[in-house]
Amino acid sequence: MSLLASRIAARQHGAMEYTEAPIDLDLVRQYRLGRVREQLARLDYAGILLFDQVNCRYACDATNMQIWCSHYETRCVFAATQGPLILFDYGEYPHLADGISTIDEYRVHTSYHFFAAGDRSEEKAGQFADTITDLVRLHGGGNRRLAIDRLSHVGCRALLERGISIHDGLEIMELARVIKSPEEIRLMQAAINVCEAGIASMRNALEPGITENALWAKLHETNIVMGGEWIETRLLSSGPRTFPWFRESSMRRIEEGDMVSFDTDLIGPYGYCADMSRSWVCGDRPGDEQRRIYAFAHEQIQHNVAMLKPGMTFHDVSRSAWEIPEEFSCNKYSSLIHGVGLADEYPSIKHRDKLELSGYEGVIEENMTLCVESYIGSEISGEGVKLEEQVLITSDGARPLTGYPFENDWL
């Protein structure tokens, strides 16, 4: 049995291990909440109100219908900078918070979005704002500055009318999430292991006649069977649908000789993201143009992983990155490198020619986890190669966390 086959078999055999976390989850929970409070103290906020469900997960680790609750302001977390963390949940389900050390109090949320409250939305928003205002008064020490990640105008207006000073909570959460603890890395690796097992299932199923959707379903199935949660996109395409990039999977039947490219965006066990991309050919013989563009994408990935070092500024990274040949530049991937944790995260490092328009500064630090991107699309063949590696920044540089092999025999 090959090394890859052994790894995949071990991961599939080990699916049951994900019923028990590989580390003490309370260590992760307390670390993450501590990171949030460090940022709150730095900017002198009384606390933070979180409605983004990924941010709620980061702050307290309680989950309840995360995708559904992302559509409505029906579940949130209030965390005082010095004081309690309170989970306001969709309903009276306190058992969902059992055993989670970061949660000091469980309450039922007063839903005021139009679906729940109709023409009583402003009344219900006022009731919720009264509750939050009381918490700020009790735990803010006179500080009425509240960070909020996402909130509709009806909720913001109600808080402003009560004298709450509203500030950007996304900055707090993105900067908190950017540095990972050793325990977080272990949970992220668990998600990557599941993802790679799913990719192996896809590879085994790839044959002429299978639809893009049926192939993509293999990744979903493996993720769920092995304890994962959801997948954020459906970025898989084949043949002429691989160029330009960003078409999602369809009912197109994959044909012999087609390029097949995908980007996993998988949320695996414990909520961590495995974000990697690979490109294959359906069949045994890639064409000359397929080999050519694959070699360029592979070279870009290898160069950009190797150059990453702690202490580099984001602009340093952009200027030191592999130079994309002009024929591929107009269809290159939207970012050069981005952060990853519970989902795609800060930073988003831009290509050299986009720095003036949309680049921003920052510094690569140890224990960041980043995704290095490449898309090379050919106008000659009308196909494109998508590759992506997930890495950990160490004192020595970038260490790959993803290990599914590239098509090295094409190079």
1 is a domain residue: no
Region 72-83: what's the mean pLDDT? 95
Q: Interior CA angle at 128 toward 127 and 134, to 5°?
A: 95
Residue after which a domain boundary falls, among 125, 155, 177: 177
> Over the stretch 143-183, which tens digit does the pLDDT of each residue have?
999 999 999 999 999 999 999 999 999 999 999 999 999 99
Shared-domain flag, residues 157 and 230: no
Q: How confident is the model at residue 69 (pLDDT cuts 50, 70, 90)?
A: confident
Q: How confident is the model at residue 15 (pLDDT cuts 50, 70, 90)?
A: very low
13 is a domain residue: no
% the chain with pLDDT above 70: 95
9 is a domain residue: no
Q: In CATH, what number is assigned to the domain containing residue 73?
A: 3.40.350.10
In 3D, which of 305, 265, 256, 292 has the Cα closest to residue 381?
A: 292
pLDDT of residue 14: 44
Over 80: is that where the pLDDT of 76 sits? yes
Shared-domain flag, residues 192 and 232: yes
H/E element, 284: none
118 is a domain residue: yes
Q: Interior CA angle at 346 toward 145 and 260, to 5°?
A: 145
- HEC states along 138-162? HHCCCCCEEEECCCCHHHHHHHHHC
Shared-domain flag, residues 316 and 171: no
More reliable by pLDDT, 19 or 125: 125
Q: In CATH, what number is assigned to the domain containing residue 231?
A: 3.90.230.10
Question: In the numeric block, which tokens belong to residue 366?
Answer: 């140890």
Q: Could you list the residue range(s) of the whole structural domain that residue 79 is in?
A: 25-177
CA–CA gap between residue 190 and residue 14 (Å, rounded): 10
Region 225-243: what's the mean pLDDT? 97
Beta bridge partners of 375: 386
> Over the stretch 93-137, which tens digit does the pLDDT of each residue have?
999 899 899 999 999 999 999 899 899 999 999 999 999 999 999
3-state secondary structure of 6: helix
Shared-domain flag, residues 78 and 163: yes
% helix, strand, coil for the chain, step of 5: 45, 20, 35
DSSP single-letter state for residue 73: S
H/E element, 268: none
More reliable by pLDDT, 10 or 287: 287
> Over the stretch 298-341, which tens digit does the pLDDT of each residue have?
999 999 999 999 999 999 999 999 999 999 999 999 999 999 99
Shared-domain flag, residues 299 and 159: no
16 is a domain residue: no
| Residue 306 CB partners (closer than 8 Å, separation 6+) | 397, 398
CB atoms within 10 A of CB 134: 11
pLDDT of residue 25: 95
| Residue 90 CB partners (closer than 8 Å, separation 6+) | 64, 65, 69, 74, 75, 108, 109, 111
% the chain with pLDDT above 90: 90
Residue after which a domain boundary falls, among 128, 147, 177: 177
Give the total number of structural domains in the chain: 2
Over 70: is that where the pLDDT of 16 sits? no
Distance of CA 299 to the CA centre of its chain: 25
H/E element, 124: helix 121-139
Shared-domain flag, residues 309 and 389: yes
Shared-domain flag, residues 145 and 241: no
3-state secondary structure of 14: helix
Residue type, 365: E
CA–CA gap between residue 196 and residue 198 (Å, rounded): 5
Over 90: is that where the pLDDT of 81 sits? yes
Q: Are 128 and 154 in contact (CB under 8 A)?
A: no
CA distances from 287 to 63, 134, 291, 410 (A): 47, 67, 6, 10
Q: How confident is the model at residue 387 (pLDDT cuts 50, 70, 90)?
A: very high
pLDDT of residue 17: 44
Residue after which a domain boundary falls, among 130, 151, 177: 177
Region 40-59: what's the mean pLDDT? 98
Residue type, 297: A
pLDDT of residue 83: 96
Predicted TM-score (pTM) of this structure: 0.93
Q: How confident is the model at residue 19 (pLDDT cuts 50, 70, 90)?
A: low
Looking up tokens 């944790």, which residue turns up? 341
Omega cis (within 30) before 269: no
Question: In the numeric block, which tokens belong to residue 158?
Answer: 């109600």
CB atoms within 10 A of CB 91: 12
Range in 3-17, 209-223, 245-259 the model is least confident about: 3-17
Shared-domain flag, residues 211 and 335: yes
CB atoms within 10 A of CB 246: 12
pLDDT of residue 327: 96
CA–CA gap between residue 41 and residue 171 (Å, rounded): 13
In 3D, which of 75, 150, 153, 156 has the Cα closest to residue 116?
A: 75
| Residue 235 CB partners (closer than 8 Å, separation 6+) | 246, 247, 248, 249, 262, 263, 265, 386
313 is a domain residue: yes
Shared-domain flag, residues 147 and 59: yes
142 is a domain residue: yes
Shared-domain flag, residues 103 and 138: yes
> Over the stretch 344-375, which tens digit does the pLDDT of each residue have?
999 999 999 999 999 999 999 999 999 999 99
Considering the chain, what is the average pLDDT of its residues?
Answer: 94
Shared-domain flag, residues 260 and 216: yes
pLDDT of residue 305: 98
DSSP single-letter state for residue 395: T
CA–CA gap between residue 74 and residue 57 (Å, rounded): 15
Region 53-65: what's the mean pLDDT? 95
pLDDT of residue 228: 95
| Residue 150 CB partners (closer than 8 Å, separation 6+) | 51, 52, 169, 170
pLDDT of residue 82: 96
Shared-domain flag, residues 137 and 236: no
Region 48-53: what's the mean pLDDT? 97
pLDDT of residue 296: 98
Over 50: is that where the pLDDT of 8 sits? no
3-state secondary structure of 115: helix
348 is a domain residue: yes
Question: In the numeric block, which tokens belong to residue 194?
Answer: 């599941």
